[in-house]
Structure 1
Amino acid sequence: MNTAGRLDVAVVGAGRVGPVLGAALRAAGHRVTGVAARTRRDAERVEALLPDVPWIEPAQAFAADLVLLAVPDDTLGPLVADLAPHVRAGQLVVHTCGLHGLGVLDPAAQRGALPLALHPAMTFTGTSLDLQRLLGAAVAVTSSPVLAPVADALVREWGSTPVVVADADRPLYHAALAHGSNHLVTLVAQALDAARAAVGEDAGRVLRPLLQAALDNALRDGDEALTGPVARGDAGTVATHLRVLAAQDPATAATYAQLAGVAADRAQAAGRLTDTAAKAVRGALTAGEP
């Protein structure tokens, strides 16, 4: 172990997340002793973030004080089970998956490891740009009470803000993030396709201020931020939208119809839409089904 509370850190996983977090810990004064991965496909990118850090075998990572497991959610459980025999009592074993809490680290904990689950609530590019984006980003922290100060310190060394998430709530937390971010990308991509068909390459410039304002308003006001034909009960406009979208891309029309139905339900429940107007909107959506 390094002096003055500094740790030897090994990163398992050479994707977009592990090397960035390793670089953040290195910048905080810890020593990154190695990067382990099944392939070295991303060697150029990893070496840009962690120059002079050697490539090691996954089992060798457990010579470090802190082992950072930055692998996909579905890979983590089998990996921990496979590497558990190499665990040393008292070493920190940290995973960065959003879905899992501490249970997935049980094979390591049973051998004396100190388990932590730390998930940055952000998307990663796998470049140095992420080091700036980590500053102030929320990190979901799941730990035992005794390790809470350690988790808090590590997150703050990334420049991030710890947010405690109970072990049982990790799947719901992760589903919320995936639904909001991943499906937002799909929604925006569909809107871009439709807008390009109408206004050409100006589509992004047209949509950007509207989408940014809608996101800010929704994060602040929730359902109260809803605007447009569904919120007004303009069933005729909804029907026209479905018709032109179906001609341009049936998949986009289907997405529009499903989300408009949910929006009508929520607007009605919030008192934003009268029962009569909500019924009219749903009628337009049903009439527009293929």
Structure 2
Amino acid sequence: MPAPAVDLAIVGAGHVARALGRLFHASGTCEVRGVLARSAASAQAGVDFIGAGLACATYDELPVAQLYLLAVTDDQIVPACAALAASRPLAGAVVVHCSGALASGALEAARQAGAHVASAHPIRSFADPAAVAASFAGTFCGIEGDAGALAVVVPALEAIGARPVAIDPAAKTVYHAAAVFASNYLVTVLDAALRAYVAAGIPEDVARELARPLAQESLDNVFRLGAAPALSGPVARGDFVTVHRQQEAVAGWDADTGALYAALVPPTAALAARKRS
């Protein structure tokens, strides 16, 4: 016999709330009872996307549930949790937030009210919630929190195809920084490469084609071999005469990009040392 559906109430009606709400509802794991947003129109739009629940504009309107999902911005998690705890008894309930940067300790108001708390961070871009909901299977989710909360959250995530990965709550900010390095700062470094090609007289569309095989092969090698074995280039060879010449040339072209180049030399040299060891 399948486990009975868990009553779910969602605070937030943005992309994450909509995608996860639709997934939980469609899987039959959760019965979405209500969606709370800052406006009735936003809440109704969330309910329409999810396909279930009551649109709510106040905490008093939000139905009582076994599981509360706080899918709000990081700066709203603490006040949202406090408002939820003030609006109803939470003893025995589960409260979970979706932030990648904050640990479950941000839900202290709910914990003090007797709830079990956790964080569950899907490692995806939610720019298109419909596309995420259609292709969520296999998505990794960083999880941490109380055992009582994880006993509910982990099966619910697995039912929608997620791959939960336990993380250390004390290192939650470093965990989130890992995603920034792997995604945001990677784009910044590639932008520097493209601008440097353009500065050398190469049209931007051609520059992208020049950079593509280098970047793609490097990524493939990192994930196939590991970072140290994938490293190549002048620092890996110990050719610091070339490195110094490039650094001066880049700084002369653009001071900020030159500073970025200089900042990358020491960690790249350390990586090269690991490669040789």
The TM-score, its normalising length taken from structure 2, stands at: 0.83
TM-score of the superposed pair, with normalisation by structure 1: 0.80
Single out whichever of 255-264 and 84-93 deviates more from structure 2. 84-93
Mark the runs of 5 or more structure 1 residues left unpaired by the alignment.
Answer: 273-290
* Identical positions, percent: 34
Indicate if the aligned counterparts of 2:40 and 2:56 stay in contact, CA closer than 8 A.
Answer: no
Q: Does 1:67 align with 2:72?
A: no
Q: Find the aligned partners of 2:204 and 2:21 in 1 and give their Cα distance.
A: 42
Moved more, 108-117 or 154-163: 108-117
User: 1:205 is matched with which residue?
Assistant: 209
Residue in structure 2 matched with residue 35 of structure 1 by the alignment: 35
Q: 1:208 to 1:264 in 2, by over 3 A?
A: same
Residue number in structure 2 paired with 1:225? 230
Q: Structure 1 residue 161: deviation in Å?
A: 0.5
* Aligned pair partner of 1:117 in 108, 116, 119: 119
State how far apart, in whole Å, the 2-side matches of 1:47 and 1:208 are.
41
Partner of 2:87: 86
> Could you tell me which of 255, 258, 264 is aligned with 1:259?
264
The residue number in structure 2 matching 1:130 is 132
Residue 22 (structure 1) aligns with: 21
Q: Identify unmatched segments of 5+ residues in structure 2.
A: none
- Per the alignment, do residues 249 and 140 of structure 1 end up closer, same or farther by CA in structure 2, a change over 3 Å counting? same
2:170 to 168, 171, 192: 168
Q: After TM superposition, give the deviation of residue 269 of structure 1 in Å.
A: 5.0
**Equivalent AA in structure 2 for residue 201 of structure 1:** D
TM-aligned CA deviation for residue 17 of structure 1:
1.5
CA distance in 2: counterparts of 1:249 and 1:66, whole angstroms: 52
CA distance in 1, matches of 2:41, 2:176: 28
CA distance in 1, matches of 2:197, 2:10: 43
Give CA deviations for 1:2-50 in whole Å, capped at 9, x if unaligned.
x961133222123331211111111112332333223579779746732
Aligned alpha-carbon RMSD (Å): 2.8
**2:276 partner SS:** coil
Q: Is the 8 A contact 1:45 1:126 kept in 2?
A: no
Distance, in Å, in 2 between the alignment partners of 1:42 and 1:243 is: 53
SS in 2 for 1:140: strand
Q: In structure 2, what residue type is equivalent to 1:56?
A: C
| Residue equivalent to 1:56 | 56
Deviates more, 1:166-175 or 1:226-235: 166-175
SS, match of residue 63 in structure 1: coil
Alignment match, 2:4: 5
Q: What's the CA shift for 1:86? A: 1.9
SS of structure 2 residue aligned to 1:129:
helix
Q: Kindly provide the amino acid, as one letter, of the partner of residue 160 in structure 2.
A: W
Of residues 72-81 and 225-234 in structure 1, the stretch that sits farther from structure 2 once superposed is 72-81
User: Take 1:193 and 1:36, find their aligned partners in 2: how far apart are those partners?
Assistant: 44
Please tell me whether the aligned partners of residues 87 and 112 of structure 1 are also in contact (alpha carbons under 8 angstroms). Answer: no
How far apart in 2 are the matches of 1:185 and 1:44? 36
- 266 and 47 in structure 1: CA distance in 2 versus 1, 3 angstrom threshold: same
Alignment-mate amino acid for residue 74 of structure 1: D
Query: For 2:231 and 2:44, how far apart are their aligned partners in 1?
Result: 45
